[in-house]
Amino acid sequence: MNGMGRVRWEGAKFMTVAICFVWVLPAFAVPPTSADPPDTPIKTAEKIPTISLDVSGADVRDIVSALASNFKVNVALPPDLAGTVTVVLKDIGLREALKAVLDPLGYEWEMRESVIYVRKKGEGTRLQASFDAGKLMLDAQRAPLQDVARLLSSMTAGNVVVDETVRDIPVTISVKDIDLGEGLRLLATSHKLDLTEDKGTFLFKKKSEMDETQKEMVAVDSEGLVSVRAQKSEIAAILTQLASKTGVSVGIEQGVSGQVTADLKYMKASEAIGTLAELAGMNVEEKGGVYQVFKPEGAAGGAGGEVGGGRREANSETKRSATPPPAADGSRPAAAAF
Q: Please report, in tens digits, the pLDDT of each residue of the chain (338 residues total).
A: 444 334 444 333 334 444 554 444 444 444 444 444 445 444 444 566 888 989 999 999 999 999 988 888 888 888 889 999 999 999 988 888 999 999 999 898 877 667 888 888 766 678 899 999 889 999 988 888 999 999 999 998 889 999 988 888 888 898 989 999 999 999 998 888 889 888 889 999 987 644 444 578 899 988 889 999 988 888 988 998 998 888 889 988 877 888 889 999 999 999 999 999 999 999 999 988 889 999 888 765 443 332 233 334 444 333 333 334 444 444 444 434 44
Contact at 8 Å (CB) between 102 and 125? no
Judge residue 278's burial from the number of C-beta atoms within 10 Å of its C-beta, 0-12 exposed, 13-18 middle, 19 or more buried. Answer: middle
Tell me the residue length of the chain.
338
Query: Phi and psi for 46 in degrees, rounded to 5?
Result: -80, 140
In CATH, what number does 5-24+49-120 get? 3.55.50.30
The residue type of 110 is E
Is the pTM higher than 0.85? The answer reads no
Domain 126-171+178-206 in CATH 3.55.50.30? The answer is yes
Q: What is the DSSP string of 179-212?
A: -HHHHHHHHHHHTTEEEEEETTEEEEEE-SS--G
Tell me whether domains 5-24+49-120 and 126-171+178-206 share a fold. yes
Q: In what order do the strands lie in the sheet with 107-112?
A: 74-76, 115-120, 107-112
Judge residue 277's burial from the number of C-beta atoms within 10 Å of its C-beta, 0-12 exposed, 13-18 middle, 19 or more buried. Answer: buried
DSSP 103: G
Q: Dihedral (C-alpha) 252, 257, 261, 265: value to the nearest 10 degrees?
A: -10
Query: Phi and psi for 202 in degrees, rounded to 5?
Result: -105, 135
Q: Name the residue ranges covered by the structural domains of the chain.
A: 5-24+49-120, 126-171+178-206, 212-313
The H or E element that residue 161 is part of is: strand 159-162
- Alpha-carbon distance 274 to 290, whole Å? 13
Q: Domain 212-313 falls in which CATH fold?
A: Phage tail protein beta-alpha-beta fold (3.55.50)
Q: What integer pLDDT is reported at residue 121 of this predicted model?
A: 79
